[in-house]
A = this chain, B = another copy of it.
Amino acid sequence: MAADAGRTDVPGNAFSVSATTLRALRTEFEQELFGNVIPFWERHSWDREHGGFWNCLDRTGAVFDVTKYGWLQGRETWLFSKLYRSVERNPAWLEMARSGAEFLRFKALTPDDRIPFRMTATGAPIVIQRKIFSECFYVMALAEYARASGDEGYLREAERMFRLVWSWAFDWTRVGRPSHRGETPLQSLAVPMILMNLIEQLTDGQGTPYERELEQCQLAFLRHVKPAERRVYEFVRPDGSLCPELPEGRQLNPGHAIEAGWFLQHWARRRGDAELSALAVDIVRWSHVAGWDDDYGGLFYFLDAGGHSPVQLEWSMKLWWPHCEALYAHLLNYSLTGSDADWALFQSTKDYTFGHFPDRTHGEWYGYLDREGRVSQSFKGGPYKCAFHVPRALLLCRNLLETMEPER
């Protein structure tokens, strides 16, 4: 582990990178966010007729699928609530957030408290996943909207759903997933990771009254982290041991591990836990090194820890979201460690990301590149991509850069 890992609160004037560079970078992130990204979603994604958002938008912003996706309704509602609350009291942003929150609560939510993964424009369910993520994004959306709007009822509803999600999270038979006798019990990194982030969202970063839950998440999370191997495994046995005989037991998802790293860092910082903070720094570093494609640049989507050919057909593609997560995670590391190595990781991620993903003609970023970095799908919104990872990363980086500038 690097000697400087976990070093925190580097004074602004102690960064090796100049204040001018930091300021120019903040301006660049702001311009990208407010000049290229947000206008695309403002212009094209709001469904003023039925409420909520069109998710599937082609390169120009035209709708290519008239259905809506539950994860994305929640994520975009969160985003516009966040912008309203943390950037500027722009009434259009609050209106969009309100539209999303009301659509989720009064049209999408089913009588048995599920949010469909896919639904019609008016909210009638098409697909309900046997997973918990749609409901997680519902919690995140409603909590942030409650704070943006001042409508406490939405916070109560978010808390109510969080209790349900918590009761389902570690046993998915409760959301209809069958359990078969041949299964190898494996736990997924996604669960403690998203719950940890949800609590941060729900409590506005204060943690309490969910300390016990956060402890449990941290425990579950750390079972996936193997410092000796410098790896974070997506699936481990409940006791934290590895399952190398199955491909899922060897699965690495570098972008996901990097995202998990900064979720953990936020929690470590709140607790003032220097050791945990140092581990979170390392998780981001390891995962970047393991996931970076030395031949063509960018982060691979999936890898196999045993060196086998990954079974996911898209394993070598370069997706927007791992790069968004890496942007913020490396900058956060640098803000804590002041290490040139972290700055270098940030810089190479930024060069690749800004050099490949943004569309300067129609706005927003492409989501899917092939291994060589060429656009593989030209749409800007799809079943898993909306106004979320790109603007969240840009906003988080911009806010962090602001705190890093020595004189204001």
Contact = CB atoms under 8 A, between A and B. Distances in A.
A59 B308 CA distance: 9
Nearest to A246: B65
A355 interface: no
Interface string A333-374: 000000000000000000000000000000000001011000
B181 A124 contact: yes
A368 B125 contact: no
A198 interface: no
A127 B179 CA distance: 9
B311 A314 contact: no
Contacts of A127: 180
A115 to B, nearest CB: 13
A199 interface: no
Secondary structure at the A interface, as helix, strand, loop or mixed, is loop
A96 interface: no
A128 B376 contact: no
A309 interface: yes
Contact of A308 (B64, B67, B247, B308): B64
Interface in A5-59: 56, 58-59
A116 B180 contact: yes
A306 interface: yes
A65 B310 CA distance: 11
Given A308-B379, A313-B377, A376-B316, A182 B245 contact: no
A65 B317 contact: no
Interface residues of A, number: 45
Contact of A309 (B58, B67, B126): B58
Contact of A377 (B306, B311, B383): B311
Contacts of A376: 313, 315-316
A183 interface: yes
A66 interface: yes
Interface of A: 56, 58-59, 64-67, 116, 118-120, 123-128, 178, 180-184, 245-247, 306, 308-311, 313-317, 368, 370-371, 376-379, 382-383
27 contacts: A56-B311, A58-B308, A58-B309, A64-B247, A64-B306, A64-B308, A65-B245, A65-B247, A66-B246, A67-B246, A118-B182, A120-B182, A123-B182, A126-B180, A126-B183, A127-B180, A308-B379, A309-B378, A309-B379, A311-B377, A311-B382, A313-B313, A313-B317, A313-B377, A315-B376, A370-B370, A370-B371
